[in-house]
Structure 1
């Protein structure tokens, strides 16, 4: 979880560490954090996810005119925004003349007394957790909750990506680590990318967001300062484990939530080469 705005440093962080493997995949665009290509990974059937068609990032709410010039080089036709309606009002995406279709597909429903932003909701959950509650922390609960609720919006995202002329596309939430993380993980897994590659891509958000040494504080959509936590690979493992326990595979998860076999085949045709 998630949000981008008004981040301030955590003065208790340790000295910087060396960039992790894969950090060279991060694309430098002013005002767009955590941007990278979701392609390049091998698949179980001997194919490879095509480069230059599917990107992931934080929101475009801080996109600068210079950044828009660089982003234009990606040729984006579609931007899928996974944030809540409340977040969109507070932090609208900027275009600076870029021509793309902007599609709103909130990953989570509004959460009573909290937020549809996983980071904010997790923080509220932790504050109200009872001592006898076995849940490790708020983010553990949020990833488990996303396994229960995120199926329909992920299917809707795939349908948007497979629409005629939709690619290249960018998928983002607030900072591109939790909601974007599970969405891209499901897509890559359903296409046959190995868990190790999916996990490494998921973890790369810590480098993309300056979270390698611990939390960074931000002001959420309610004006409250909260910690933006580093992603932890065990959270994605929890999400996928729950999906697999119920549906066998991520493809089964997508079918359960309404994706047709032909639609998944179309996604594969568009995104996988050499299979």
Structure 2
């Protein structure tokens, strides 16, 4: 079995000052320059904003909760893009954990509760002139990882190609040596954990358990066949 360290780690990272894990999701033969993935834009600098302007950015999908955005709002520095706030996990007041206790449990949980956000993301990307687009959460590895995996699947990438791209987050975030500490939006100490192929695999399996396929899962949350085809076709060469 292939381990998480045995994959093509060729960097797809793009230089956007003070934005973590910003990279092109057009991998495995998909079109580049259309769909990007990243951590939040809360520390975006004027130089970084110019870089995004140079990329032609038109759409940003923010998968974070309202509580995260309140503490770490995205910076724009004059950028004029369409912003869509589509929290992948429920908002709460901080009185209970937003996530399950372990990362292994979190991924199936995202599949179970994230249908409206995943569907909303596809619908927004199917709008005219949606691309180039950036999808982000806090650091761009878990919520963003699942969302990008769904989109890449619609564009025809194999699960192996999707996993290769997903695992790049570990190196780009410095998680290839293990978890890193951080403070969450409620002031609680936490650890950011490396991503693992089994976790994303569990989320995709849960989607299939619930609805049989990714398109059927999206259909169940209101996405049309035309919208699915529009997004998939946009990313294919």
TM-score by structure 1 length? 0.80
Tell me the equivalent position of 1:58: 39
Counterpart-to-counterpart distance in 1, 2:96 and 2:55 = 36
Counterpart-to-counterpart distance in 2, 1:19 and 1:210 = 17
Instruction: Say whether residues 1:153 and 2:117 are aligned partners.
Output: yes
Tell me the equivalent position of 1:88: 69
Aligned with 1:187 (options 151, 166, 178): 151
Deviations 1:126-161 (A, max 9, x none): xxxxxxxxxxxx112111111111111101001111
- State whether residues 23 and 207 of structure 1, in contact with CA within 8 Å, keep that contact through their aligned partners in structure 2: no
| RMSD, aligned CA | 1.8
Offset at residue 190 of structure 1 (A): 2.2
Counterpart-to-counterpart distance in 1, 2:103 and 2:233 = 35
| Superposition misfits of 4+ residues, deviation over 4 angstroms | none
- State whether residues 56 and 176 of structure 1, in contact with CA within 8 Å, keep that contact through their aligned partners in structure 2: yes
Offset at residue 20 of structure 1 (A): 6.7
Counterpart-to-counterpart distance in 2, 1:40 and 1:143 = 23
TM-score by structure 2 length? 0.92
Counterpart-to-counterpart distance in 2, 1:77 and 1:71 = 9
Tell me the equivalent position of 2:15: 28
Counterpart-to-counterpart distance in 2, 1:94 and 1:216 = 24
Matches within 5 A, 1:206-221: 206-221=170-185
Offset at residue 19 of structure 1 (A): 11
- State whether residues 20 and 207 of structure 1, in contact with CA within 8 Å, keep that contact through their aligned partners in structure 2: no
Aligned with 1:202 (options 154, 159, 166): 166
Tell me the equivalent position of 2:96: 114
Tell me the equivalent position of 2:220: 256
Offset at residue 21 of structure 1 (A): 3.0
Offset at residue 243 of structure 1 (A): 1.3
Counterpart-to-counterpart distance in 2, 1:53 and 1:197 = 18
Offset at residue 40 of structure 1 (A): 3.1
Structure 2, gaps ≥5 residues long: none
Deviations 1:220-272 (A, max 9, x none): 10111211111111100111111122322211211222211111111123222
Counterpart-to-counterpart distance in 2, 1:223 and 1:103 = 26
Tell me the equivalent position of 1:134: none
Aligned-partner SS, 1:204: helix
Over 3 Å counting, the alpha-carbon distance change for 1:145 and 1:248 in structure 2 is same
- State whether residues 82 and 107 of structure 1, in contact with CA within 8 Å, keep that contact through their aligned partners in structure 2: yes
- State whether residues 11 and 168 of structure 2, in contact with CA within 8 Å, keep that contact through their aligned partners in structure 1: no
Counterpart-to-counterpart distance in 2, 1:227 and 1:23 = 26
Structure 1, gaps ≥5 residues long: 1-17, 43-48, 126-137
- State whether residues 154 and 231 of structure 2, in contact with CA within 8 Å, keep that contact through their aligned partners in structure 1: no
Q: Between Structure 1 and Structure 2, how many residues are aligned? A: 232
